[in-house]
Amino acid sequence: MTHSPLAIEATGLVKSYGETRAVDGVDLAVRRGSVYGVLGPNGAGKTTTIRMLATLIRPDAGSARVMGHDIVDEADAVRAAVSLTGQLASVDEDLTGRENLTLLGRLLGLKRPAAKARAAELLDAFGLAEAAGRLVKHYSGGMRRRLDIAASIVVTPELMFLDEPTTGLDPRSRNQVWEIIRAMVAEGTTILLCTQYLEEADQLADGIAVIDHGRVIAEGTPGQLKASVGSGALHVRLLHPDQRPEAEQVLGRELGAVVLEPDPAALSVVCSDADRGAVAIAELARSGVRIADFSLGQSSLDEVFLALTGRPAEAVPGEPDRIEEEHAS
Amino acid sequence: MSAKPTTHAEPAFAADEAAVRQALSSTPRPPKASALSAALTFGWRGMLKVKHVPEQLLDVTITPVMFVLMFTYLFGGAVAGSTGEYLDYILPGILVMSVLFTTVYSGVAVNTDLTKGVVDRFRSLPIWRPAPLVGSLLGDSVRYVVAGTVIIVLGVILGYRPGAGVVGAVAALALVVVFAFGLSWVFTTLGLLLRSPNAVMNAGFMGIFPLTFLSNVFVDPATLPAALEAFVHVNPISILATASRGLMEGTAEAADIAIVLAVAAALTIVFAPLTTRLYRKA
Ligand SMILES: Nc1ncnc2c1ncn2[C@@H]1O[C@H](COP(=O)(O)OP(=O)(O)O)[C@@H](O)[C@H]1O
Ligand SMILES: [Mg+2]
């Protein structure tokens, strides 16, 4: 076993599907014991990257070492060190929660009694003891995700891949999953977390790679990313939501691309210069837009994404529920 | 079957950090599961599915029962002159046909499985690569045994008496199941190449139907035109039917049995690695 301080070192990973370059030269360096966020909108190439690193597909070009092992030449050693929680719930819907965990325990080499005991312990820890004997297809989205994560730690992995663990969950279930992820981090598990939720990466990750169209377009800590697009943002809340288009126009002209916030009366824009911010506010007032309040503060990752790509990240929390849709079809 | 939402209230859950951390730290990594143990575990998975949806066993019981009754009473009089005589000829044939038809469903099952996220997890486990497929076919073999047993028992109820008794019947069933195991690799390959479970079913039956009917399962080939007769003679399904009849009657020829086993082995050697490769890349 090599003792690189890195859990993942990827250089120039490429994967094409026909004309689509799903992943187009991705480099990653993930330290052991950290949570690394791969942040990007739907179709950016997150899942394809994870599938290469977890040895499910071979890269067309480039190479990577995961926990010190080459993903192509030492795929078995990689598999023995990692676990995967896929974007589609990676549990068997036609079995019960208990059967799922026991099955995985057996496949990972536990004897039958040990596999059963381990399943019971995990079901307890993840609040699924009561639902243990129920078929997974009758689980709620949150319960399914928790089982999915439990399934990934039947044998404690050195590195865990989490592909959009909270997509499609309601806010309460999302918080529960976040708490579980935090507990795993506290225990020292290295995690590669793919997400389209900027808030999720901000909350959980130590380092973030922003990817778009199969390429890493920015990398750093959440703080560095924010700093790289300017130290702050101007947040404005209007008295009348119907004046937002007008406000967007004025701020866009004065400061650059504007982010429309979930609050229909709020908008924000990257702005590192207080004087220019003040001018923009004055300009707003002059054009007849009524302002409820405004502040100049740190930029959020939403603004980071906008500044990097020139367009907003497509997905925001609370969007239609993709996981549930996939299960319903 | 679609998953109906149920009315179970979701139990309240607050992630218990201490419990999660405890769960993370408590298991030392056990030695890797052996190939056999992994395959058997996947076989167990197949059995659990039957346990949860026992209706699945209907395909493998009702259809063979229908075949036996239909061929014995509907065609028996016409083809062989009397139902009793025809039953002697046809029963081993129906055994072969029903079990071989069941193999198509193995391909359908693999195709259905692929649409589920759980396959990614299986493929990311440090286990013997073919284990999920071998295991699912081992589980299916249990279905073949059920189908075969139903046919033989029904035959006995209707008056069929194998000359070699129970031992002969068991030997014939075993031979058919071994051949079916080999053949089912062809359908799992198909299951990984085609897009939908329906396509697999259609293509599978398009292959297995003519092969079965152009064998000596139903009719004595001596009555056929020369070209067809030649084909029927070399059709492995004819040889399997002949060997099964022979085992039932205690008159089997070693050469026939050897050919059947060789064909089953050849199908496995060619199609098992092919299936495994396709599964890995799917
Ligand atoms: N198996 C596949 N066949 C064809 N195209 C694919 C396949 N997997 C992914 N893609 C394409 O590659 C791109 C990246 O997909 P993906 O990695 O799933 O993105 P993300 O996980 O970030 O949403 C998308 O355009 C997607 O349509
Ligand atoms: Mg994805």
For residue A159, give the CATH number of its domain. 3.40.50.300
Dihedral angle, C-alpha B177, B45, B278, A51, nearest 10 °: -170
Instruction: Evaluate whether residue A202 is within a structural domain.
Output: yes
Instruction: Evaluate whether residue B28 is within a structural domain.
Output: no
* pLDDT tens for each residue of B133-175: 999 999 989 888 988 999 999 999 888 888 888 999 999 999 9
Per the document, the length of chain B is 282
CA distances from residue B18 to A120, A166, A179, A186, B144 in whole angstroms, order as listed: 16, 22, 11, 10, 48
What's the pLDDT at A295?
A: 83
Instruction: Evaluate whether residue A321 is within a structural domain.
Output: no
Distance from C-alpha of A173 to C-alpha of B195, rounded to nearest angstrom: 34
Which residues in B lie closer than 8 A to residue A176 (C-beta atoms)?
13-15
**pLDDT higher than 90, residue B180:** yes
Full residue range of the structural domain in which residue A61 is found: 6-94+135-220
- Two tokens, residue B259: 């050919």
Instruction: Evaluate whether residue A124 is within a structural domain.
Output: no
| Distance from the first to the final alpha carbon of chain B | 24
Full residue range of the structural domain in which residue B219 is found: 34-281
The answer to whether A84 contacts B118, with C-beta atoms less than 8 Å apart, is no
Are residues A214 and A237 both part of a single domain?
Answer: no
Pick B17's closest partner by Cβ from A137, A183, A327: A183
- Two tokens, residue B32: 């890797």
The alpha-helical segments, DSSP class H, found in chain A are 46-53, 75-81, 97-107, 112-125, 141-152, 171-186, 198-204, 222-228, 244-255, 274-286, 301-309, 322-328
Are residues A156 and A75 both part of a single domain?
Answer: yes
> For A243, which DSSP code?
G
Instruction: Evaluate whether residue B88 is within a structural domain.
Output: yes
Are residues A167 and A215 both part of a single domain?
Answer: yes
**pLDDT higher than 90, residue A71:** yes
The answer to whether B3 contacts A327, with C-beta atoms less than 8 Å apart, is yes
Instruction: Evaluate whether residue B29 is within a structural domain.
Output: no
- The minimum CA-CA distance between A292 and chain B, rounded to whole Å, is 38
What's the pLDDT at A300?
A: 67
Distance from C-alpha of A167 to C-alpha of A132, rounded to nearest angstrom: 23
Are residues A199 and A235 both part of a single domain?
Answer: no
Residue nearest to atom 16 of ligand 1 (CA): A45
Residue nearest to atom 2 of ligand 1 (CA): A17
- Two tokens, residue B157: 């109820």
* pLDDT tens for each residue of A7-66: 999 999 999 998 899 999 999 999 998 999 999 888 899 999 999 999 999 999 999 999
Residue A317: pLDDT band with limits 50, 70, 90: very low
**pLDDT higher than 80, residue B102:** yes
Cα-only R_g, chain A = 22
- Considering its fold, how many domains does chain A have in total? 2
- Two tokens, residue A277: 């911010």
Q: Which chain A residue is nearest to residue B123, measuring alpha carbons?
A: A56
What's the pLDDT at A326?
A: 36
Are residues A63 and A150 both part of a single domain?
Answer: yes
Give the ipTM.
0.83
Distance from C-alpha of B182 to C-alpha of B267, rounded to nearest angstrom: 5
Instruction: Evaluate whether residue A257 is within a structural domain.
Output: yes
Cα-only R_g, chain B = 22
Are residues A83 and A163 both part of a single domain?
Answer: yes
Distance from C-alpha of B207 to C-alpha of B100, rounded to nearest angstrom: 11
HSE-up of B86 (CA within 13 Å, CB side)?
18
Are residues A179 and A31 both part of a single domain?
Answer: yes
CA distances from residue A225 to A10, A11, A87, A199, A229 in whole angstroms, order as listed: 21, 21, 26, 13, 7
For residue A287, give the CATH number of its domain. 3.30.70.920
| Residues in the ligand 1 pocket, defined by CB under 6 Å | A 17, 20, 22, 40, 42-48
Instruction: Evaluate whether residue A13 is within a structural domain.
Output: yes
Residue B88: pLDDT band with limits 50, 70, 90: confident
Lowest-pLDDT choice from A175-184, A268-277, B14-23, B228-237: B14-23
Residue that finishes a domain, picked among A198, A220, A242: A220
- Two tokens, residue B111: 């195709």
- Do residues A39 and A64 lie in contact, with contact meaning Cβ atoms separated by under 8 Å? no
- Do residues B66 and B165 lie in contact, with contact meaning Cβ atoms separated by under 8 Å? no
Instruction: Evaluate whether residue A113 is within a structural domain.
Output: no
**Amino acid letter, residue B211:** L
Which residues in A lie closer than 8 A to residue B46 (C-beta atoms)?
none
Are residues A82 and A48 both part of a single domain?
Answer: yes
Instruction: Evaluate whether residue B135 is within a structural domain.
Output: yes
Pick A107's closest partner by Cβ from B25, B117, B127: B127
What's the pLDDT at B5?
A: 45
What's the pLDDT at B26?
A: 65
* pLDDT tens for each residue of B200-212: 999 999 999 888 8
pTM: 0.80
Token pair 């993903």: residue: A71
Instruction: Evaluate whether residue B18 is within a structural domain.
Output: no
Distance from C-alpha of A226 to C-alpha of A212, rounded to nearest angstrom: 17
What's the pLDDT at B3?
A: 44
Instruction: Evaluate whether residue B97 is within a structural domain.
Output: yes
What's the pLDDT at A161?
A: 95
The answer to whether B8 contacts A124, with C-beta atoms less than 8 Å apart, is no
Are residues A176 and A85 both part of a single domain?
Answer: yes
Are residues A142 and A210 both part of a single domain?
Answer: yes
**pLDDT higher than 50, residue B4:** no
What's the whole-number average pLDDT of chain A? 86
Are residues A139 and A210 both part of a single domain?
Answer: yes
What's the pLDDT at A87?
A: 82
Residue B82: pLDDT band with limits 50, 70, 90: low
CA distances from residue A68 to A5, A101, A155, A206, A208 in whole angstroms, order as listed: 9, 28, 19, 21, 21
Nearest to A209 by CA among A49, A14, A76, A64: A49
Q: A10 burial class (0-12, 13-18, 19+ CB within 10 angstroms)?
A: buried
Token pair 């064998």: residue: B215
Instruction: Evaluate whether residue A48 is within a structural domain.
Output: yes
Q: Which chain A residue is nearest to residue B279, measuring alpha carbons?
A: A56
Instruction: Evaluate whether residue B14 is within a structural domain.
Output: no
Distance from C-alpha of A140 to C-alpha of B156, rounded to nearest angstrom: 50
Distance from C-alpha of B161 to C-alpha of B73, rounded to nearest angstrom: 17
- Considering its fold, how many domains does chain B have in total? 1
Distance from C-alpha of B26 to C-alpha of B36, rounded to nearest angstrom: 27
* pLDDT tens for each residue of B29-55: 788 899 999 999 999 999 999 899 888
What's the pLDDT at B143?
A: 87
**pLDDT higher than 60, residue A269:** yes
Q: Which helix (H) or strand (E) holds B118?
A: helix B118-123
Instruction: Evaluate whether residue A129 is within a structural domain.
Output: no
Ligand 1 centroid to residue B282 C-alpha, Å: 14
Q: Is A21 helix (H, G, I), strand (E, B) or coil?
A: strand
- Do residues A213 and A24 lie in contact, with contact meaning Cβ atoms separated by under 8 Å? yes
Q: Does A327 touch chain B (CB under 8 A)?
A: yes
Q: Which residues pair with B147 in a beta bridge?
A: none
pLDDT mean over A240-260? 89
Q: What share of chain B is helix, strand, coil (3-state, %, to 5)?
A: 75, 0, 25
**pLDDT higher than 70, residue B78:** no
Instruction: Evaluate whether residue B27 is within a structural domain.
Output: no
**Amino acid letter, residue A301:** L
Residue B252 CB contacts under 8 Å (≥ 6 apart), including other chains: B171, B243, B246
Are residues A205 and A235 both part of a single domain?
Answer: no
- The minimum CA-CA distance between B36 and chain A, rounded to whole Å, is 10
